[in-house]
Structure 1
Amino acid sequence: MPSNPLSHHFPRIFHLASLHPPRDFYPIADTPICLEIGAGKGKHALLFASQNPDKHLYAIERTAIKFEAFDKQAGMANPPNLTAIHADAIAWTAFAVYPKQIQTCFILYPNPEPKNKNQRFLNMPFFELLLSKMADGGQIILASNIGDYIDEAERLLTEMWQLPYSKRQIESTSARTHFEIKYLARGERCQELIITKPGGYRTRFDETLPLHLSRSSSDEA
């Protein structure tokens, strides 16, 4: 482990001032939540909600076609502990989420961004803001079928973010997302990293309130 596991060495900073509130945005309560970034058509979100009735999942999908399919399925199942969000996850997290509010965050099979590795989650300044929103002991579940993506994420977790994690190979019978089903059916190796935020871990956003509060205060001043 790094000599100082309670901070990070990521050089770039996430600039909140450039963000705009998501369309049709509404605030959420400051209570523990789970978050899924890139929910697709909602297969994992609906499964998680049914298996964890004591946890509330906010599942975000940016793409209109995928969200329409997700919203339709969520409307038919109507789980009380699932909220489907059509928005950019970065802006929504910045405007809606309180410090240390997220218990578990799922990032399942994100776009590997082969032409721009700086857009990969662990190589983005946004990841620091996300960490500030994670509860002490909270976990980020990152899954991919691309070995190089997982290898790079491991290196960044150790060298830059200084975060503990475990890695596991996903069983061939797993069926959390449509991508996961497709990749496993093709015989591809799917892996996930289970990243834990230690108590006392520090970021530069630890005292940053949701932007809907901070900007409202500025407007009233």
Structure 2
Amino acid sequence: MNKNNQTHNLSHHKNRAFKPEKINPPRIFDSKSWQWLTQSKNEIVLEIGAGKGLHAIQFAAQNKDKTIIAIERTAEKFAAFNKNAQPKNLANLYPVHADAIAWSVFALPAQSISQAFILYPNPERNNANQQWLNMPYFEFLLSRLKNDATITIASNIMEYLDNAQAQSTEVWQLPTTREVVDKTSSRTHFEIKYLARGEPCEQLVITKPAGYVTRFDNDNP
């Protein structure tokens, strides 16, 4: 079906459509190495912008029944991530050095992710169009989530969360809760630093409800 003809059936109000056909695959990408995603018995968790891997490593160690794929684009941070992860030998942790948008287009099946994390992303103060919930790509990301899956977005920048919350509820039409991050939380190096300085940190927990319709629900990666 032509995606343009599906617009009136969509569950959101985002008019501008993401165009995955214009995305190039990540370098050194082998789609066969990710075919197991369609057959995995574990819940699949995605982290975008994993940094040095602190949250991903902790999550994998504490949730052996789940598999976490943690993506980091920056070479220096990913090298530190790999170095930190190797001694742990966690079979349920998959560090990925790639751009998250390109990787997800070519690797992730529709409705395959049970939970996603975007922790302390770049606020893109000078280019709000690059904030995750402002981007047409967010619709594609939603199509990769299973029914009732959640996306957790954390930040110390309240204006960023204010905009993300407005986009989530008004544009994407998603159930969204806002929570204060506990002062003892230590999911990322940024979180540890911000909380130690006494800065407020909050998070949005966004849920994809059953029956949510996007342009990409039946697409293959």
Alpha-carbon displacement from aligned partner over 1:129-159 (angstroms, at most 9, x marks no partner): 0000000010001001000011111111111
Q: Name the counterpart of 1:11.
A: 15
* Mapped pair 1:40 → 2:44: no
Shift of 1:193: 0.5
Displacement over 3 Å in runs of 4+: none
Give the aligned residue type for 2:101: I
Which residue identity lines up with residue 134 of structure 2 in the other structure?
N
Asked if 1:197 is matched to 2:188, the reply is no
Aligned to 1:76: 87
Task: Determine the C-alpha separation between the residues in 2 that align with 1:93 and 1:33.
Answer: 13
Post-superposition offset of 1:172: 1.0
Find the residue that maps to 1:56 and give its secondary structure. Answer: strand
Moved more, 11-20 or 83-92: 11-20
Picking from 160, 164, 167, the partner of 1:149 is 160
**Cα distance in 2 between the residues matched to 1:167 and 1:134:** 20
1:11 offset after TM fit, Å?
1.4
Q: Give the match for residue 6 of structure 2.
A: none
Counterpart residue number, 1:159: 170
- Which residue of structure 2 lines up, in the alignment, with residue 26 of structure 1? 30
- How far off is 1:72 after superposition? 1.0
* Aligned ranges 1:116-135 → 2 under 5 Å: 116-135=127-146
Letter in 2 for 1:116: N
The amino acid across from 2:13 in the alignment is H
Range with bigger deviation, 83-92 or 149-158: 149-158
User: How far did residue 71 of structure 1 move?
Assistant: 0.7
Whole-Å separation in 2 of the counterparts to 1:153 and 1:77: 34
- Percent sequence identity over aligned pairs: 56
Secondary structure in structure 1 of the residue aligned to 2:66: coil
Unaligned runs of 5+ in 2: 1-9
Of the candidates 86, 108, 133, which is equivalent to residue 119 of structure 2? 108
User: Deviations for 1:56-95, whole angstroms, at most 9, x for unmatched residues?
Assistant: 0000000000000001111111100000000000000000
Alignment of 1:96 with 2:100, yes or no, is no
- 2:137 and 2:168 map into 1 onto residues whose CA distance is 14
Once superposed, what is the RMSD of the aligned Cα atoms? 1.4
Q: Could you say what secondary structure the match of 1:204 adopts?
A: coil
Deviation per CA, 1:151-201: give whole Å up to 9, x if none. Answer: 111111111000001111001111000000011111111000110000000
TM (norm. structure 2) is: 0.91
**Structure 1 unaligned spans of 5+:** 1-5, 211-221
Local SS of the residue matching 1:107: strand
Q: Which amino acid aligns with 1:17?
A: E
CA separation in 1, counterparts of 2:141 and 2:160? 19
Give the TM-score, by structure 1 length: 0.91
